[in-house]
Amino acid sequence: MNVLLWVFQSYLAASFVVFGAMKIVRDRKELARTAFGWVEDFSDNSVKIIGLLDVLVGLGLILPGATDIAPVLVPF
């Protein structure tokens, strides 16, 4: 069960980090042409902040268990 948890969390964290980095690095108009059509409703800074929050969520999924700081958060 522990291995399955780590595999699932690693995949989910990598997804959050990759998509968050895309929102930070790419232009809003370029994102709108791909699968992120919702970005047209937000400003450039809002999209960058959402991307930063995605990256932080991805790190927050892995770091509590990897650093053994607050490991009780891992299953949640």
| pLDDT single digits (tens) 26-75 | 988 888 888 888 998 999 999 999 999 999 999 988 888 788 887 777 66
Please state the φ and ψ torsions of residue 37, each to the nearest 5 degrees: -70, -20
Please calculate the CA angle 40-31-19 and round it to the nearest 5 degrees: 120
Q: Which residue has the higher pLDDT, 4 or 49?
A: 49
Query: For the purposes of burial, counting CB atoms within 10 Å of the CB of 36, is it exposed (0-12), middle (13-18) or buried (19 or more)?
Result: middle
Instruction: Please check the confidence at residue 3 and state whether its pLDDT lies above 90.
Output: no
pLDDT at 66: 80
The two three-digit tokens of residue 52, written as one number = 């930063």
